[in-house]
Amino acid sequence: MATVDQLVFRAQNMALSNDPIEAEAAVNDAYADIVVACQLKIGTATKTLTSGQSVYSISSNWTISDFGALQYLEYLALGSSQAYILEQINMDEILALNATNPLGATRQYAFIGLDTIRVWPEPQTTGDTMTVYYAKVPDTLVLGDTPPDVPAQWHSLIALGAAARLADAVGEDQSLSSTLDARYQVGLDRFEKWLTRRGGRGARRIQSGYLRSPRRPFHDNSTYYSAASR
């Protein structure tokens, strides 16, 4: 387990930098990048929707201040006990769909910029709710802290990411910056694979129902007999 002081020292050594203040900022940036990218810290928030309103701000309507990345949106119609996940599409599709003047259950959404969501069709009933599941930005670390949201054996990845940012900020050795960034990307990929393995293995699903395209038995066309070919 490493403290911020140790991570700053390691980052400076790898980046050949003597700026501890810039190194501390780089450690926090790398830490936040890992936590959000790997979705290590999850939050939820629920908003009651208004009939006819299709645009919602994550920071204002859900009052979320630590939003890092969206996982999914869960929609629950008023009076229903079964929620469902909205499908993500792009804004061009939303605009095209709106031209059809649709009615019915809200089932899709698109992002507008970094913080705003537009749903389609717009809610028909005031009282429907939408729950945001999202990756949270971690709290800023200070000297003496230990990163609580990254496993201790992967704290070296934070230092590596910070070193890559620090070398790029200094800009004196772009080759070193590129090398450190490549190592960081490889380490991040390894960490994500470790997280996948940590989640466990599940048995393969048994296929049920009818096959869409049943396989035909093996046959040799040359053995076919046709009276018309005589």
The string of pLDDT tens digits covering residues 81-128 is 999 999 999 999 998 988 887 778 899 999 998 889 999 999 988 999
DSSP secondary structure letter of residue 201: -
Mean residue pLDDT of the chain comes to: 88
DSSP character string of 142-193: -TT---TTS-GGGHHHHHHHHHHHHHHHH-S-HHHHHHHHHHHHHHHHHHHH
Rg (CA), the chain: 26
What is the sign of the dihedral through the CA atoms of 16, 19, 20 and 25?
A: negative
Q: Would you place residue 217 in the very low, low, confident or very high pLDDT band (cuts 50, 70, 90)?
A: very low
Amino acid at 100: T
- Is residue 190 within 8 Å of 156, Cβ to Cβ? no
191 pLDDT higher than 80: yes
Tell me the C-alpha distance between 103 and 164, whole Å. 50
What is the crossing angle of helices 20-37 and 4-15, to 10°? Answer: 110
- Give the model's pLDDT for residue 223: 43
- Give the model's pLDDT for residue 206: 62
- Which position has the token pair 């994500």? 192
- Give the model's pLDDT for residue 200: 82
**How much is the pTM?**
0.81
43 pLDDT higher than 90: yes
Environment class of residue 142 by beta-carbon count within 10 Å: exposed (0-12), middle (13-18) or buried (19+)? Answer: exposed
